[in-house]
Amino acid sequence: MSLIPVLDIAPFLAGSTTDKMLLAKRLDEVCSDVGFFCLTGHGVSDEDFREIYDVSKAFFHLDLEEKRLVAQHSPDVIRGYIGIGAAALGGLQDEKTPSDWKESFSAGPIDVNLQDPYYQAPLARGHFAPNRWPERPGEFGRIWTNYYATMAQLSSDLMRLSALALGLREDFFTDKINRQIGILGAMYYPDQCQAPAPGQLRAGAHTDFDTMTILRPDDAPGGLQIKTDNGDWSAIKAPPGAFVVNIGDIMARWTNDRWASTLHRVVNPPRDSKLGTERLSIGFFHETNFDTLIECLPSCQSSGEGPKYPPVLAGEHIYNQFSRQIRSDDTTPVKDNGQTDEQ
């Protein structure tokens, strides 16, 4: 069991310049090492989290046919429901692994003005598609919209802190994330009443392809593990009320691997505990603007060392990576009886 470093962001949000720089220095140390940390002092209330947790679990407990009314239409539109067997995160590592034993629901940016030409650009693809809200449970769309806004603000605060940690101006990332395409996702891992296929996990080993992920995991058997430097897998344990934050591939590319995008997975529960092992994690996968060019930051090039990665537009990177994990036809168009942002 691994208790990853704990960072309290409260001094950054309300502290002096000295407090900010001390925390920024610690963030750089943590992200250069394990790439995972627990975040406290974030200001997100337990009540706000419990609200989205409860409404999301109620959705996943609906009949499959009702959930499929808001199924994801296609791999390039990350909206709605994905069922068990439709994705394999291990595929992102070019591994031939069984599909993940999980369901998920995803939502994207809110309050998008589709009359603005920016959101209609070809490179925008499906990053600003309307969200697909189920009719049941009631208040689902409202609760998810409010929580999305809360997490988008928290991620913006973390990006300001990250800029200081990387020796940049505090506002360096502001114009690169002011129209961010982050995804709010609920990952539901049901009880495993039958044995998984050989090699099948709740979520296969992968790195996240965003800037950073802010996750509130469930405390249930069969959980999150990270791969350590010595090749072992270590379970993550977070203090009550804390978020688990990890660095994603975009930030690793930006920093020329100064910050680590660490391999992680979600393992199966013990086979002797067949019931009472369902798990629900709510995560915000923060992204930049779709047209932000991700290239090595000037503060992250050591003397005599060039960039490890070619420049890439964030939207293209995200689209390509997400498409690689989709495996089944569970995302083919279905009759759209769900509510969208436009209704």
Instruction: Give domain status of residue 343, yes or no.
Output: no
- 92-109 pLDDT tens trace: 555 667 888 899 999 999
- 10-26 pLDDT tens trace: 999 997 899 999 999 99
- 41-50 pLDDT tens trace: 999 999 999 9
Instruction: Give domain status of residue 110, yes or no.
Output: yes
Number of domains composing the chain: 1
CB 56 within 8 A of CB 48: no
Q: How far apart are CA 166 and CA 189, in angstroms?
A: 36
Instruction: Give domain status of residue 341, yes or no.
Output: no
Max Cα-Cα span within the chain: 58
Instruction: Give domain status of residue 335, yes or no.
Output: no
State the residue range of the domain holding 286: 6-330
The CATH number for 215's domain is 2.60.120.330
* pLDDT at residue 2 tops 70: no
Instruction: Give domain status of residue 1, yes or no.
Output: no
Instruction: Give domain status of residue 342, yes or no.
Output: no
Instruction: Give domain status of residue 339, yes or no.
Output: no
What pLDDT is recorded for position 327? 52
**pTM for the predicted model, two decimal places:** 0.91
- 130-178 pLDDT tens trace: 999 999 999 999 999 999 999 999 999 999 999 999 999 999 999 999 9
- pLDDT-based confidence at 336, cuts 50/70/90? very low
Instruction: Give domain status of residue 149, yes or no.
Output: yes
